[in-house]
Amino acid sequence: MKVLSVASEIFPLIKTGGLADVAGALPAALNVHGVEMTSFVPGYPAVLNALEKPQELHHFENLSGAPAVLRRAKAKGLDVIVLDAPHLFNRPGNPYLGPDGRDWPDNARRFAVFAEVAAETARGTYGNYKADLLHGHDWQAALASCYLRYRGGPKSLLTIHNIAFQGVFAPEIFPTLNLPHQAYALDGVEYYGNVSFLKGGLASATALSTVSPTYAQEICTANYGMGLEGLLQQRRGVLSGIVNGIDDAVWNPEKDSALVQSYSSKSIDKRRANKTELEKRFALHPGDGIIHGVVSRLTWQKGLDIFASLLDSLVESGGRVAVVGTGEPGIEQAFRAAATRHKGRVGLVTAYDEQLSHLVQGGADTMLVPSRFEPCGLTQLYGLRYGCVPLVARVGGLADTVIDANDAALGANVATGIQFVPVDGLTLWGALLRADNLYKQPKVWRMIQERGMQADVSWRRSAAAYHELYKNMIAGDAK
């Protein structure tokens, strides 16, 4: 089975968030099932620099205004087809934003062309590659399902990693999309008078999925569907929720060069050396008390404004915090101010730092994810694997992957973390107190860490679920 996976970012070539981790891990996870997954990626500089033995699949004399080349290659262990279109993708840094921190003004064109060439690649238009199925991810790839719907070709699956990002543009762009005029309609890309790439994909793909069962239910409701709940309710029969796994070659505390000390569930005491290193790196006063870790985009979605508002109380009660993240200026500023007020207690690194994120997982006591909504979430999964106890809001994938340390779960020795709901300052504060209380009972805390480290957060089950879905789709039964 040949599957073309279409994503705008992929680890280890280019990453801004969890989508890259998932797109990067799926090929190996599905290979176990005999799926040959090729990843279709934009030719950003970081991607082009990583190509090994590229072969030209097609040369475009004029692809939306300039020449371009479609290349197939290996890159850091991945089998990739890259759209090398310098006028669209030869821009350093973040794949979506210019140096001013705003979306590139031509993002509609960039990702429409990307999706169109992906669809044509899957249909076998170029060279000797042809796919049995196209698996697109998020709005940047969503239009590929529209092109396949109107032009024919393999079936397509569209996975929603975050419904908050929809790729909505002014209607004037429609004529540039090379879609038939009937696509500008209620069951196509038209969305309240605009063009929505995600909506077009959701209406057109053979099947839909999202990254956890709970989020699959949530997005069919007005509270979480962000305007697309009606369409999703209609397509409910072909929508599934498959929780993400983690790449345990990249995330393994027994072999992680970003840690000063490796360890396993049988030698959790050794984490102490990483905690000491964490204290140094975040300029925290040394001590035995709890350290809460955050590795995140600092955004409203992640609920970190709520956490920032609790920092004075947290410090007063003896807590320490290590935050690595970047994001909305207001939230960054709130953390910066708290770090200045509470030197040695609130440590902040406002950067994107992959290595440091591993050290936080390997050294902090909790991994804090107080999200208002969370399609799946990966940092709590890394936390489980690293004995960094997840303290999470009970929403989306966080609800599906963490078992709250309530009395029943502790009694049965199945607890793996701490959950709270609804997502507000009061409940988060309650959860922080509960964490501190459990932390002060070393045997109980150890039990929670061990259970978490032993939980199966690998791709094993989810890869099997995707494989099953692919097979059913190809056989004609979309679900």
Interface residue list for ligand ADP (CB under 6 A): 17-18, 21, 295-297, 324-326, 352-354, 357, 376-379
Q: Residue 201 is which amino acid?
A: G
Stretch that binds ligand GLC, among 98-106, 233-241, 340-348, 375-383 (CB under 6 A): 375-383
297 contact choice in ligand ADP, ligand GLC, none (CB below 5 to 8 Å, kind-dependent)? ligand ADP
The CA distance from 447 to 463, in Å, is 29
| Interstrand relation of 78-84 and 36-42 (parallel, antiparallel or unpaired) | parallel
The CA distance from 415 to 447, in Å, is 8
Residues 188-227 vs ligand GLC: string with x where CB under 6 A? -----------------------x----------------
By CB under 6 A, residue 360 contacts ligand GLC: no
Q: What minimum distance in Å lies between the beta carbon of 185 and ligand GLC? A: 29
Please give the structure tokens belonging to residue 191.
Answer: 């969305």
Provide the CB-side half-sphere exposure for 97 (13 A, CA): 8
Looking at beta carbons only, is 17 or 344 nearer to ligand ADP? 17
Are 88 and 64 in contact, with CB atoms under 8 Å apart? yes
Looking at beta carbons only, is 17 or 45 nearer to ligand GLC? 17
Q: What minimum distance in Å lies between the beta carbon of 372 and ligand GLC? A: 11
Are 418 and 392 in contact, with CB atoms under 8 Å apart? yes
Q: Residue 419 is which amino acid?
A: Q
Q: What minimum distance in Å lies between the beta carbon of 355 and ligand ADP? A: 8
Q: What minimum distance in Å lies between the beta carbon of 11 and ligand ADP? A: 8
Q: What is the dihedral of CA 290, 377, 163, 91, to 10 degrees?
A: 90
Q: What minimum distance in Å lies between the beta carbon of 18 and ligand GLC? A: 3
DSSP string for 400-436: HH--B--HHHHHTT---BEEE-S-SHHHHHHHHHHHH
The CA distance from 109 to 96, in Å, is 12
Q: Residue 114 is which amino acid?
A: F
Q: What minimum distance in Å lies between the beta carbon of 376 and ligand GLC? A: 4
Which residue is nearest to ligand ADP, using beta carbons?
A: 18
352 contact choice in ligand ADP, ligand GLC, none (CB below 5 to 8 Å, kind-dependent)? ligand ADP
| 279, 374, 400, 436: which one binds ligand GLC (CB under 6 A) | 374
Unique residue bearing structure tokens 């994107």: 352
Q: What minimum distance in Å lies between the beta carbon of 393 and ligand ADP? A: 13
Are 63 and 117 in contact, with CB atoms under 8 Å apart? yes
Question: Other CB atoms closer than 10 Å to residue 43's CB: what's the count?
Answer: 22
| Interstrand relation of 239-241 and 207-210 (parallel, antiparallel or unpaired) | parallel
Cis ω before 375 (30° cut-off from 0): no
Residues 133-152 vs ligand GLC: string with x where CB under 6 A? --------------------
Q: Between the CA of residue 321 and those of 100, 284, 325, 358, 431, what are the distances in Å?
A: 30, 8, 13, 16, 15
Residues 9-48 vs ligand GLC: string with x where CB under 6 A? --------xxx--x--------------------------
211 contact choice in ligand GLC, ligand ADP, none (CB below 5 to 8 Å, kind-dependent)? ligand GLC
| 162, 166, 380, 449: which one binds ligand GLC (CB under 6 A) | 162
Chain residues binding ligand GLC by CB under 6 A are 17-19, 22, 161-162, 211, 244, 374-378, 397
